[in-house]
Structure 1
Amino acid sequence: MSRGRRTPVAGSTVVVTGANRGIGLAFVQEALAAGAAKVYAGVRDLGDITPELAASGAEPVALEVTDPEQVREAARHCADATVVVNNAGLHAGDRLVQAADPGAARREMEVNYFGPLEMTRAFAPVIAGNGGGAIVNVLSVAAIAPTAFMGGYSASKAAALYLGGIARAELEPLDIGVTSLIVGSVDTRMAAHVDGDKEDPRDVARTGLAAMARGDWTCDTDRMAIESRARMARDPIRYERGLGRLLFVDQLRTKG
């Protein structure tokens, strides 16, 4: 299998967005456990840091990904960065066309697409100046199939998937790899409304960092992601229709 730039975690200096809890916190913890030299934990509010993040040993950094100036300031502050994990995300919980809040999809696009774009633009010169490294984009099964019950979230994650591929082509000459992670249902606040089996965030983070280290372009991080891709490949119309029907269920539930 062809692979891109291999970036080991050990010795890397890692920046994680949305690092206060969930998958972002898991990336902080797993990067440090794997020997990262330093981890910068991007949070929206330095006055509201979770005890778990405070105990992790990472350096908190004010980082609201929808604020271009704050992103640029973070790039200046984290001048030794060699890895960026674009994890910050927003699921507004609304429909796309028949939206109760027509602005929800725009906010999702700002966080889930324009946020990683701003981060990539700001940090690519930093990573290149430090000898190369990697950008990891935390995406979703909703990026690979139109997921109607996730409205604008699905569209924004699909846009971010293409962002990863285009950034990879542009940044390869700078010795920067880009890995896109396709993530299923994870035990986080974002998936609190979903019943059934959910992945441990640290398992997802560990798998994602291993994919980066191998130079993978794309990685399905868990069972749901792998099975969803397989169902999409076998019968895309049936799979999309099934996702569409979930608009009308009272309770979302993962399969065991």
Structure 2
Amino acid sequence: MDIAGSTALVTGANRGIGRRFVEQLLERGAEKVYAAVRRPESVGDLDPRITPLYLDLLDEKSISEAAEAARDVTLLVNNAGISTGARLLGDGLDMVRQDLETHLFGTLRVIRAFAPALAANGGGAIVNVLSVLSWVATPEGSGSYSVAKAAEWGMTNGVRVELAGQKILVQGVHLAAADTDMMAGRDVPKADPADVARAALDGVQAGALEVLVDDASRFVKSALAGDPARMYSRSSGD
């Protein structure tokens, strides 16, 4: 897909990775970028090609209204998300449901709302920002988030198959951590959010179904075919 001249929509576009997606899209010649956020006033100083749009992954009406307002979209970037930090065995199931409602059902709602527009506009691309935690859990309270991202990964694969005949690329982007507000205070290697957006959009232009942003995601993906002890020795105390 050629990003120059495209019309894109980015969820969670006011900060972190989402904001870098907006910047990269404009640099690559996108004609218009809808910055879809829960607080449109938070988008800040505007390039005339940016259109703030209210969208909340947990509010189906807001998603429908956004899809009606942005029927010219040819590139959809599903970046918005949360992390409750819930443990699967120690915290309330309502927190686990919140992670799932956001990452799985919320993202799916957005795709269901915008897929008809993408098809009507001759095809395009959908980018889902996933995680290395789609494939592995860690001891640092990632259980609920990992379940939600694993479900979103499965959904990404399923949607890809269903949209294949409509000339719509569906891409999954995996990374371990990025230097965003969500990861503030975590003493772990973090990717520059701009590098995440750059890698994903390079993948869109190349027609890549999957983008592995960092060494951690490449290691975990390669380890999936082997003994899981390779990834879980730390949590088992070995």
> TM-score scaled to structure 2, two decimals?
0.93
CA distances 1:123-159 after superposition (whole Å, capped 9, x unpaired) = 0000000110011000000002234531211001101
Q: Report the residue type matching 2:169 in the other structure.
A: G
Which residue does 1:237 correspond to in 2?
Answer: 229
Unaligned runs of 5+ in 1: 1-6, 246-256
What is the aligned-residue RMSD (CA, Å)? Answer: 1.8
For the residue of structure 2 that corresponds to 1:108, the secondary structure is helix
Count of paired positions: 236
Q: Deviations over 1:174-195 (max 9, x none)?
A: 1111000011210001111211
**SS at structure 2 position matched to 1:206:** helix
1:226 alignment partner in structure 2: 218
The amino acid of 1:192's aligned partner reads: A
Q: Shift of the alpha carbon at 1:212?
A: 1.5
Contact 1:44/1:63 (8 A) holds in 2:
yes
Runs of 4+ in 1 over 3 A off after TM superposition: 53-57, 230-235
Q: Distance in 2 between matches of 1:197 and 1:162?
A: 26
Distance 1:104 1:228 in 2: 26
Give the counterpart letter for 2:26 in structure 1: L
Matched, 1:12 2:3: no
Greater displacement, 83-92 / 235-244: 235-244
The one-character-per-residue Cα deviations of 1:72-106 (angstroms, maximum 9, x if unpaired) are: 1111100100010011111111211221x331111
Query: For residue 86 of structure 2, what is the aligned residue in structure 1?
Result: 94
SS at structure 2 position matched to 1:103? helix
Contact in 2 for aligned 1:147/1:244 (Cα 8 Å): no
Q: Which has the higher contact order (CA 8 A, sep 6+)?
A: 1
SS, match of residue 34 in structure 2: strand
**What's 1:182 paired with?**
174
Q: Is 2:35–2:43's contact at 8 Å kept on the other side of the alignment?
A: no
Amino acid at match of 2:94: G
Which residue identity is paired with 2:37?
Answer: V
Gap change, CA 1:196 and 1:152, over 3 Å in 2: closer
Unaligned runs of 5+ in 2: none
Distance 1:207 1:178 in 2: 15
